[in-house]
Amino acid sequence: MTRSFSLAVVAGDGIGPEVTSQALKVLDVIAPAHDLAFTTTDYDLGARRYHATGETLPDSVLEEIRGHDAILLGAIGDPSVPSGVLERGLLLKLRFALDHYVNLRPSKLFPGVATPLGDPGDIDFVVVREGTEGPYVGNGGAIRVGTPHELATEVSINTAYGVERVVRDAFARAQARPRKKLTLVHKNNVLVHAGHLWSRTVAAVAPEFPDVTVDYLHVDAATIFLVTDPARFDVIVTDNLFGDILTDLAAAITGGIGLAASGNVNPDRTTPSMFEPVHGSAPDIAGQSKADPTAAILSGALLLEHLGVPEAAAQITAAVEADIAGRGAVPRSTEEVGEAIAQSVTDLGAAEGVPVG
Ligand SMILES: NC(=O)c1ccc[n+]([C@@H]2O[C@H](COP(=O)([O-])OP(=O)(O)OC[C@H]3O[C@@H](n4cnc5c(N)ncnc54)[C@H](O)[C@@H]3O)[C@@H](O)[C@H]2O)c1
Ligand SMILES: CC(C)[C@H](C(=O)O)[C@@H](O)C(=O)O
Ligand SMILES: [Mg+2]
């Protein structure tokens, strides 16, 4: 029986629409092979709408988006809009309103991918980044702005409720992986209030997952080991800001930001989860068809996994691996990469005897 899913598509700004169209192309190609049907609704959100109407994410649109099974997002942010307006008013509003408390960011070094680390061994870890708290909540302000006496605060909010639910999710993910290792990354030698809440929470939840080995690193040391010994990581759990920074670094060591996918997940499934590349709108290459759509395509695979179609997700990942293995030195356009991965999905389907496309 055909399984039908409704997807809200927020292509967004810069390279967002360029990479999202390739992700949708691959989803279209894979759907028949797994008896899936996608209906998509495009949402015109981002810089264009902001300039035309002053709106970032009207509540009525948020409510419409809420009615979908999942969200596919490209990238948000544009140099023509003051920094933070779209990032906070659209992207973070979606993550917060839809309670995406698990920001899932897998990092895997695919065979054949060049890394600045030379031969770093087997890199295969996932960062579970808290998605609704920390310094992202907007608790702060500034006084005497523009004067020599300006004072600005950006308060990091960490609740026992918020920390515990993401820590428990990270433990469960570690438990389900072969190495069963969880590393808490924080800065509890300096951020003693939030840091100790995170450490105590990990210690309190650990007995529920006796098979999981627990480790702790200060965030500064974690950046060292991500470069010198990334194979040591299995599951990392960390706060919203540390997770943001660590996952750009994680992308850089596994072939670049063009390959890094993510999911903003509501594990309770009370709202649609949202899948997007880790990268941004890349204004420096927007409109030139230079963006690598692989991260967006792999975000589509994470979406399928979340919707309960892991075999389709695995087929997309295999198609990406096959494409990456064959990548030469000649640069390809965004469409050429998308087309090649879509073709690879078809070829894999044919090899397994399932009709694709
Ligand atoms: N999730 C998101 O929507 C998201 C994430 C990060 C940044 N942003 C926003 O995007 C804008 C630009 O931010 P930034 O420059 O710091 O980060 P960025 O990720 O957009 O770009 C950083 C660098 O990576 C390159 N890059 C990014 N994606 C690429 C791809 N798919 N293929 C090839 N190269 C790629 C860019 O060309 C640039 O040189 C800002 O407005 C920022 O707030 C949005
Ligand atoms: C654009 C910004 C709000 C966002 C974040 O900090 O979460 C981005 O950097 C990301 O990694 O998705
Ligand atoms: Mg980021």
Domain CATH number, residue 228: 3.40.718.10
Q: 350 pLDDT exceeds 80? A: no
CA neighbor of 326 nearest in space, from 310, 312, 344: 344
Question: What is the overall mean pLDDT for the chain?
Answer: 97
Q: Per the domain annotation, does 108 fall within a domain?
A: no
The confidence score (pLDDT) of residue 101 equals 98
Co-location of 239 and 130 in the same domain:
yes
Query: Are the C-beta atoms of 126 and 233 separated by less than 8 Å?
Result: no
Known catalytic membership, residue 187? yes
- Contact partners, residue 3, CB within 8 Å, separation at least 6: 35, 36, 37, 309
Instruction: Flag whether 173 is marked binding.
Output: no
Instruction: Flag whether 211 is marked binding.
Output: no
Smallest CA separation from ligand 2 atom 9, residue: 244
**Rg for the chain, CA atoms, rounded:** 20
Co-location of 307 and 286 in the same domain:
yes
Known catalytic membership, residue 248? yes
Assess whether the C-beta atom of 46 lies below 6 angstroms from ligand 1.
Answer: no
Q: Quick one: average pLDDT of 339-354?
A: 87
Q: 354 pLDDT exceeds 70? A: no
Of 254, 272, 296, which one is at a domain's C-terminal end?
Answer: 254
Assess whether the C-beta atom of 276 lies below 6 angstroms from ligand 1.
Answer: yes
Q: What are the residues facing 291 on neighbouring strands?
A: none
Q: Per the domain annotation, does 59 fall within a domain?
A: yes
Q: 356 pLDDT exceeds 70? A: no
Out of 35, 42, 220, 268, pick the active-site residue.
220
Q: 357 pLDDT exceeds 60? A: no
Q: What is the pLDDT of residues 297-307, one digit of tens each?
A: 999 999 999 99
Q: Which atom of ligand 2 is nearest to the CA of 248?
A: 11
For residue 343, what pLDDT band results from cuts at 50, 70 and 90? very high
Q: How far is the CA of 33 from the centre of ligand 2 (A)?
A: 34
Q: Per the domain annotation, does 227 fall within a domain?
A: yes
The confidence score (pLDDT) of residue 353 equals 64
H/E element, 6:
strand 3-12
CA 54, CA 143: separation in Å to the nearest integer? 26
pTM of the complete model: 0.97
For residue 152, what pLDDT band results from cuts at 50, 70 and 90? very high
Smallest CA separation from ligand 2 atom 5, residue: 244
Rounded to 5, what percent of the chain is helix, strand, coil? 45, 20, 35
Q: Per the domain annotation, does 107 fall within a domain?
A: no
Q: How far is the CA of 248 from the centre of ligand 2 (A)?
A: 10
Of 226, 254, 282, which one is at a domain's C-terminal end?
Answer: 254
Task: Count up the domains in the chain and report the number.
Answer: 2
3-state DSSP assignment of residue 146: coil
Is the reported ipTM for this assembly greater than 0.90?
yes
Co-location of 292 and 305 in the same domain:
yes
Q: Which range of residues forms the domain containing residue 322? A: 1-101+258-357
Instruction: Flag whether 69 is marked binding.
Output: no
Co-location of 86 and 120 in the same domain:
no
Q: How far is the CA of 23 from the centre of ligand 1 (A)?
A: 17
The confidence score (pLDDT) of residue 328 equals 84
For residue 352, what pLDDT band results from cuts at 50, 70 and 90? confident
